[in-house]
Amino acid sequence: MTIIEAILLTVITASTPLVLAALGELVTERAGVLNLGVEGMMIMGAVCAFVATQLTGSPYVGILAGILSGALFSLLFGFLTLTLVANQVATGLALTILGLGLSGMIGESFVGVSGIKLQPIVFPLLSDVPYIGPLLFKQDIIFYLSIAVVIGVNWFLFKSRAGLRLRSVGDSHASAHALGINVIRTRYLAVMFGGACAGLAGAQLSLVYTPQWVENMSAGRGWIALALVVFASWRPWRLVAGGYLFGAVSISQLHAQAFGIGIPSQFLSALPYLATIVVLILISHNRRMTLINMPASLGKPFVPDR
Amino acid sequence: MKKLIFALAATAAVLGFAVQASAQEKAKICFVYVGSKTDGGWTQAHDIGRQALETALAEKIETQFLENVPEGPDAERAIERLARSGCGLIFTTSFGFMDATVKIAAKFPDVKFEHATGYKAAPNVATYNSRFYEGRYISGQIAGKMSTKGVAGYIASFPIPEVVQGINAFLLGARSINPEFKIKVVWANTWFDPGKEADAAKALIDQGVDILTQHTDTTAPMQVAAERGIKAFGQASDMIKAGPETQLTAIVDTWGPYYIKRTQAFLDGKWETASSWDGLKDGILTMAPYTNMPDDVKAMAQATEAKIKSGELKPFTGPINKQDGTVWLKDGEAAEDGVLLGLNFYVEGVDDKLPQ
């Protein structure tokens, strides 16, 4: 295995949770709901996936537990913001704080327990293809799922009727409501999809990335996922590119340090963020294009008149 | 964002204190942690010390702690709230709390403060530290024996004296065995981020190191080392559970006796500012069992440990050159504590540019 392949393998592991959580949030935001609780849902996914894996011995049960816990946890957000029409920003923040605390409590007796790592699924012939084989066809199921989710979300949002309805809810909930679309139900589903994706991302952290449970182990990745959605101007493929760019720069800077190229490490550590800003400037020079993609009703509460 | 979260958490904490204030007769001893108390490393070691304190002086004191307090301005608020809530003695357990501790201490002259690993003191601020570098010298010697490639990976957190001492001591130890020994340093710029620490470990192993040591707080690097089948050293707590066949030894911080001693002095009204810097011989620092190594290496490590304890061996004893080749310590000259506590340069042979 060459060093390039080794770097790319690490990049994939580092980027997958970002891409997954961000994709979920993208769908939520496309429906007009701003859920700042990604970090909280992610860490809940991480702890539930870890605990379920330990209890059953199967990481696949863990993955399911991660997805379910993320979705259930997001339901709390949905109930507060959609049914009780609470402020989305405050509720999202509260969800993050609650998630960090609750996960610490759930996982308390599992700290320091050595985890069970999710094993890769090897595609017999494809994995032997030089270079791309080991990278793309010798991965764990969460990576394959993330690819499926990208393709699925892109198709759903821009090619399906249901996706069109979801986007219309995000762009103008009043018009969507007038057309007979059930705004609240659509938003509930979008929020739960976001939660499920964040939960799956969390499962990746505690089953693949670092197979262990430590409090706070998401370490701010939920916030990076949130930023990625804006970075991608709410487009799935841009989001994937952004997520992998961020991962690639993060990992390359570590290699640059180990290689000893003599650039101050503080600068190297800031590189992923600098790269993100540069790209953001480049793609946002056309302001209209960005605004077209931004859901017009994002963050606005909807109260159907009776 | 963090600020808002913290403000909410702090408000909740204050409410909690208000409820307890009525029952307060015992002296309140408080702790500020940079990480989670179950991180498996640095903060956990401090929390074990706190529990030892609580057990030892259960009749007279109660303890309180704040976890996951970010270094920087937020730390000030956390420390201030503890000071206001009636804590008599406050231990702030991370280097990055230094300025915040000194600043708040000036506002509360009647409250006593103890800051770990820093160098700024005041009449009501004592500092305490541990000679971690003694353990790292031993680790270095073990690495010198165990590494077949003669290259170790070093995951560092922040370029503060404590970490620089560790890197230097590790290299000096390794070179005392293998004069050609090299280390590759990666700065994670965090104390606590399992993912990033694991990424750093992978990067180092991919670049060919066959032994790993860390100065960050989670067991993630140990786990990566175990997965890739190389050996590694634990940090702050015994990390053997994360790598039963991987950990060679670990530098284990044992803060309990110090916390008990200082709290007792506080209760007796004899607390005075001080600068405590003990090491292996005082038991504030212990080595986890030497495992996964041949008997001769183990014997060597034990011999070195004994020599350091007896004072016969001081890791920073000349001849030692600085990284640029100029003389730092002449033959037989030992480094002064003052210089070590502010150490901001590498010794000769470290293949890295020290971030300033």
Give the contacts of B140 (CB within 8 A, at least 6 positions apart).
B169, B170, B171, B172, B173, B174, B175, B176, B181
Q: Which helix (H) or strand (E) holds A237?
A: helix A236-259
A203, A116 contact by CB (below 8 A): no
Nearest to A262 among B186, B196, B353 (CB): B353
B140, B173 contact by CB (below 8 A): yes
Chain B residues touching A111 at Cβ < 8 A? 38, 40
A5, A131 contact by CB (below 8 A): yes
Going along chain A from its start, the domains and CATH numbers come out as 3-112+131-293 (1.10.3470)
B65, B32 contact by CB (below 8 A): yes
Nearest to B218 among A108, A214, A265 (CB): A214
A111/B187 CB distance under 8 A: no
DSSP letter for A207, please: I
What pLDDT, on a 0 to 100 scale, did the predictor assign at position B19? Answer: 45
Tell me the C-alpha to C-alpha distance, in Å, between residue B152 and each of A26, A251, B147: 42, 19, 7
CATH architecture of B2-18+26-130: 3-Layer(aba) Sandwich (3.40)
Establish if A14 touches chain B: CB-CB under 8 angstroms: yes
Q: Which helix (H) or strand (E) holds A187?
A: helix A183-204
A219/B190 CB distance under 8 A: yes
Where along chain B do its domains lie?
A: 2-18+26-130, 133-253+287-341
Establish if A216 touches chain B: CB-CB under 8 angstroms: yes
Residue B313 sits at the vertex; the CA angle it makes with B132 and B319, to the nearest 5 degrees, is 100
B279: tokens are 């090491």
Do B2-18+26-130 and B133-253+287-341 have matching folds?
A: yes
Q: What confidence tens digit (pLDDT) does each residue in B274-306 have?
A: 999 999 998 899 999 999 999 999 999 999 999
ipTM of the complex: 0.89
B170, B183 contact by CB (below 8 A): yes
Count how many Cα atoms sit within 13 Å of the Cα of residue A201 in the half-sphere of its side chain: 38
Chain B residues touching A103 at Cβ < 8 A? none
Chain B residues touching A217 at Cβ < 8 A? 194-195, 218
Q: How far is B320 from chain A (nearest CA, A)?
A: 22
CA distance A168 to A182: 11
Q: How far is B89 from chain A (nearest CA, A)?
A: 27
What pLDDT, on a 0 to 100 scale, did the predictor assign at position B23? Answer: 47
CA distance B191 to B37: 13
| Under-70 pLDDT residues of chain B | 1-24
Establish if A210 touches chain B: CB-CB under 8 angstroms: yes
A79: tokens are 């109930």
A233: tokens are 């101007």
A51, A110 contact by CB (below 8 A): yes
Quickly list H helices, chain B: 2-21, 42-56, 73-84, 98-107, 132-146, 161-177, 194-206, 220-228, 256-267, 295-310, 337-341
Establish if A227 touches chain B: CB-CB under 8 angstroms: no
Tell me the C-alpha to C-alpha distance, in Å, between residue A80 and each of A75, A188, A244: 9, 11, 33
Establish if A109 touches chain B: CB-CB under 8 angstroms: no
Q: What confidence tens digit (pLDDT) does each residue in B223-235 have?
A: 999 999 999 999 9
- Sign of the alpha-carbon torsion through A205, A206, A208, A209: positive
Chain A residues touching B1 at Cβ < 8 A? 93, 223
B355, A270 contact by CB (below 8 A): no
- Mean pLDDT of residues grouped by 10 in chain A (306 residues)? 86 96 97 96 97 96 97 97 95 95 92 87 85 86 96 96 96 93 96 98 96 90 92 92 92 88 79 80 74 87 78
B199/A250 CB distance under 8 A: yes
Most distant CA pair in chain B, distance: 64
Three-state SS for B168?
Answer: helix
Q: Classify domain B133-253+287-341 at the CATH topology level.
A: Rossmann fold (3.40.50)
Establish if A264 touches chain B: CB-CB under 8 angstroms: yes
Instruction: Measure the N-to-C terminal CA separation of chain B; round to a whole number of Å.
Output: 28
A210/B194 CB distance under 8 A: yes
Q: Quick count: other Cβ atoms within 10 Å of Cβ A131?
A: 11
A219/B199 CB distance under 8 A: no
Nearest to B194 among A3, A214, A268 (CB): A214
B160: tokens are 């503060």
What pLDDT, on a 0 to 100 scale, did the predictor assign at position B14? Answer: 47
What pLDDT, on a 0 to 100 scale, did the predictor assign at position B8? Answer: 55
A47: tokens are 């702890």
CA distance B134 to B179: 19
CB-count exposure of residue A299 (10 Å: 0-12, 13-18, 19+): middle
CA distance B310 to B279: 11
Q: Is the pTM for the entire model greater than 0.95?
A: no
CA distance A82 to A78: 5
Provide Rg for chain A, Cα atoms. 20
Q: How far is B37 from chain A (nearest CA, A)?
A: 9
Tell me the C-alpha to C-alpha distance, in Å, between residue B256 and each of B26, B36, B47, B234, B271: 19, 18, 9, 20, 17
